[in-house]
Amino acid sequence: MNGTLKRVAVAALAMFALLMINVNWLQAVKAEEYQSDARNTRNFFDRYAIERGRITAGGKVIAQSVDTGDNRFRFIRKYPDAKLYAHVTGFFSPESADAIESTHNKLLDGSSADLLLRRSIDLFTGEPTKGANVELTIDPKAQKAAYDALRQSGKRGALVALDPKTGGILAMVSLPTYDPTELSGTDKAKVFKRYDELAKDKSQPLLNRTIAQTYPPGSTFKVVTAAAYLEDDDSRGPETTVEAPQRLPLPNTNISLPNYGGAACGSGQVTLVYALERSCNTPFGSMGMELGYDKMKEQTEKFGMGQQVAVPMPVAQSDFGPKEDQAAVAMASIGQRSNRMTPLQMAMIAAGIANDGTVMKPYLVNKVTDSKGDTIDEADPEELSTAVSSGTAAKLRDMMVSVVSNGTANLAQVPGVQVAGKTGTAETSDGQPPHAWFISFAPAENPKVALAVIVESGAANVGAEATGGHTAAPIAKAVLEAVLNK
């Protein structure tokens, strides 16, 4: 009898143990998975029970929660100037979020551990829980200028502007855009239908082209080749003479690299500054082959390429291209072949030159505060890399000023301000017209803004490098003026 009781007792204890293991497995290990499961309707309604924090830019509210008075969906997300800031704020849909709404979700909805003290005080005083507010580095005037100027081009494109001394992002615009309000409603069927429409749109309005898309950089990349050439020998400078044939034979091929339209580059021997002003292909292709793949790739990495960057949204990897033959190095050195860059990376190159050779880590969030205005977190500018020496940066700055004053970028001139820049025309592989590029910073002697702009298939039929100069440079000028004329 005692043996039977013992067996029953052991069996009961084993079942209790299994029950406790199961409870802990469900409530601890699997809790987050079940909480985020789309079938969890409680989680769906909870998303709208808390007043999420505001997202602001330059004191302007660009995302906020509005009290509906409906007990089921108490707070609904609204986006003033929705399309203007869509790729910055992102959306807050019934089951997902994007951009800042996603990266800072736990702060915005008040569930972050950083807000534990605030929640405790609110519990004690009986005040409802509110999310933290996120203040961005975006300059509303620069953002609006970029958006309007890009939209007037009638093309797809992107512009990103930085404070070269801190890395703060002053403007981030990608076109076409979308209305995040349409994806932030409570009607799942309606929201999902609209999302599918946007996702299937061939123009890719959901894509943030500034950080999630790479392009051949075209002739804007010649400033990197010039940087590597100057760094290789500090006796070189803007007046150094370089070979500039009308066509550059490419080793182990039966083809040669021409200048744009087959034109001559001066007399065949020109100064480095002249080659950059006129954006000649042959001298920069020759420089790239002379330096070799390893030195060229090393220079790109010094500008930040190859590093994992988040702003806080993750940034697509820019790449000089794989190691191939000398002919490939020549093409990559003028921004073609396998050379691929995000607009943000090209803005970082301009900013690094502007900042005496130091590239700052780009960032979008300036400050996070709780519902009472107390600071939770604040940006601390951080150096990403040293791209070039201050001496080389000064030489590049002078040459880029000359490109705007005497070369292909005269349409970027701002009255009373010395502007530095470089145009670019990037050939595409899909038969479409070339992309138009422009990178710039100003004022040259004390830079406050650096930027990159690309207009997809935006090259104008006006000859030479004036394509980037005619299409992209005026867009950059509008943003430079918006920042400098505040």
pLDDT in tens, the chain (486 residues): 577 777 777 777 878 877 777 767 666 666 666 655 555 555 667 788 889 999 999 999 999 999 888 778 889 999 999 999 999 999 999 999 999 999 999 999 999 998 888 777 777 776 788 899 999 999 999 999 999 999 999 999 999 999 999 999 999 999 999 999 999 989 999 999 999 999 999 999 999 999 999 999 999 999 999 999 999 999 999 999 999 999 999 999 999 999 988 889 999 999 999 999 999 999 999 999 999 999 999 999 999 998 899 999 999 999 999 999 999 999 999 999 999 999 999 999 999 999 999 999 999 999 999 988 999 999 999 999 999 999 999 999 999 999 999 988 999 999 999 999 999 999 887 778 899 999 999 999 999 999 999 999 887 654 444 467 789 999 999 999 999 986
Predicted pLDDT of residue 465: 45
How far is 414 from 122, CA to CA, in rounded Å? 52
Tokens representing residue 97 in the block: 């979020």
- Its sign, for the CA torsion 20, 24, 27, 31, is negative
Nearest to 179 by CA among 85, 299, 288: 85
Can you give the length of the chain in residues?
Answer: 486
Predicted pLDDT of residue 38: 54
How far is 135 from 15, CA to CA, in rounded Å? 53
How far is 412 from 185, CA to CA, in rounded Å? 42
DSSP collapsed to 3 states, the chain:
CHHHHHHHHHHHHHHHHHHHHHHHHHHHHCHHHHHHCCCCHHHHHHCCCCECCCEEECCEEEEEEEECCCCCCCEEEECCCHHHHHHHHCCECCCCECHHHHHCHHHHCCCCHHHHHHHHHHHHHCCCCECCEEEECCCHHHHHHHHHHHHHHCCCEEEEEECCCCCEEEEEEEECCCCHHHHCCCCHHHHHHHHHHHHHCCCCCCCCHHHHCCECCHHHHHHHHHHHHHHHCCCCCCCCEEECCCEEECCCCCCEEECHHHCCCCCCEEEHHHHHHHCCHHHHHHHHHHHCHHHHHHHHHHCCCCCCCECCCECCCCECCCCCCHHHHHHHCCCCCCCEECHHHHHHHHHHHHCCCEEECCECEEEEECCCCCEEEECCCCEEEECCCHHHHHHHHHHHHHHHHHCCCHHHCECCECCEEEEEEECCCCCCCCEEEEEEEECCCCCCEEEEEEECCCCCCCCCCHHHHHHCHHHHHHHHHHHHCC
Predicted pLDDT of residue 437: 97
Predicted pLDDT of residue 473: 94
- CA distances, 396 to each of 62, 98, 238, 391 (Å): 38, 38, 8, 9
How far is 416 from 321, CA to CA, in rounded Å? 40
How far is 320 from 221, CA to CA, in rounded Å? 10
Predicted pLDDT of residue 462: 47
Nearest to 145 by CA among 181, 164, 172: 172
Residues designated as active site: 219
